[in-house]
Structure 1
Amino acid sequence: MATGAAPGHADRLLTHGDRRPRAVLMLHGYTHSPAQLDVLAGLFFDRGYNVSVPRAPHHGVATPGAHAAVTVEGLLAYAGNALDLAATLGDEVGVIGVSGGAVLATWLAAHRGDTVSRLLALAPLYAPHPGRIPPVLLRPLIRLYGLGLLPDRIDSRGYSYRAVARYLRIAADHPSRPRPGALRHVAVAVSAGDTVVDRRSAFDVPARLAAAAGATLVQDTLPAELGLGHNIVSPIGSADDALARRYLALYENTPLDLPPG
Structure 2
Amino acid sequence: MRRDTPGWPLRRRRLQRAPRRALTYEEAVADRQGDGTLLRTHGRRTGRAVLLLHGYTHSPRQVARLAELFHERGCNVYAPLAPGHGAGGRHAGFTAADLLAYAGDALDVAAALGEEVGVVGVSAGAALATWLGAHHGDVVGRLLLITPLFAPHPGRVPAALLRPVTVLYGLRLVPDRVNARGYSFTAVAQYLRVAANLPAVPVRGALRRVAVVTSPGDTVVDAGQAVAVPARLAAAAGAAFVHHVLPDGEGHAHNVIGAHAQALDQVYLDLYDG
Q: Which amino acid aligns with 1:225?
A: G
CA distance in 2, matches of 1:168, 1:78: 16
Q: How far is the alpha carbon of 1:236 from its aligned partner? A: 4.4
Q: Is the 8 A contact 1:9 1:34 kept in 2?
A: no
Map residues 39-58 of structure 1 onto 2, 5 A cutoff.
Answer: 39-58=65-84
The answer to whether structure 1 residue 111 and structure 2 residue 135 are counterparts is yes
Q: How far is the alpha carbon of 1:78 from its aligned partner? A: 0.1
The answer to whether structure 1 residue 223 and structure 2 residue 247 are counterparts is yes
Aligned to 1:5: none
CA distance in 2, matches of 1:236, 1:251: 20
Aligned to 1:252: 273
The answer to whether structure 1 residue 135 and structure 2 residue 184 are counterparts is no
Point out 4+ residue stretches in structure 1 off by more than 6 angstroms. none
Structure 1 counterpart SS, 2:252 = coil
Aligned to 1:259: none
Aligned to 2:175: 151
Q: Is the 8 A contact 2:120 2:126 kept in 1?
A: yes
Map residues 100-249 of structure 1 onto 2, 5 A cutoff.
Answer: 100-236=124-260, 241-249=262-270
CA distance in 2, matches of 1:206, 1:9: 31
CA distance in 2, matches of 1:43, 1:234: 12
| 1:72-111 superposed Cα distances (whole Å, 9 cap, x missing partner) | 1100000000000000000000000001100000000000
Where in structure 2 are there 5+ consecutive unaligned residues? 1-33
Q: Is the 8 A contact 1:96 1:102 kept in 2?
A: yes
Q: How far is the alpha carbon of 1:225 from its aligned partner? A: 2.1
CA distance in 2, matches of 1:39, 1:214: 31
Q: Is the 8 A contact 2:215 2:252 kept in 1?
A: yes
Taking only aligned residues, the RMSD between alpha carbons, in angstroms, comes to 1.2
Structure 1 counterpart SS, 2:249 = helix
Aligned to 1:38: 64
CA distance in 1, matches of 2:247, 2:94: 33
Where in structure 1 are there 5+ consecutive unaligned residues? 1-7, 254-261
CA distance 1:79–1:51, change in 2 (3 Å):
same
| 1:15-39 superposed Cα distances (whole Å, 9 cap, x missing partner) | 0101111000000000000011111
Q: Is the 8 A contact 2:217 2:254 kept in 1?
A: yes
CA distance in 1, matches of 2:137, 2:78: 18
Structure 2 counterpart SS, 1:67 = coil
Q: Which amino acid aligns with 1:166?
A: Q
Find the partner of 1:82 among 94, 98, 106.
Answer: 106
Q: Identity percentage over the alignment?
A: 60
Aligned positions, number: 241
TM-score after normalising by structure 2: 0.86
Q: Which amino acid aligns with 1:246?
A: V
Q: Is the 8 A contact 1:39 1:236 kept in 2?
A: no
CA distance in 2, matches of 1:160, 1:112: 29
CA distance in 2, matches of 1:147, 1:170: 12
Aligned to 1:258: none
CA distance in 2, matches of 1:148, 1:27: 25
CA distance in 2, matches of 1:142, 1:123: 20
CA distance in 2, matches of 1:60, 1:129: 24
Q: Is the 8 A contact 1:9 1:33 kept in 2?
A: no
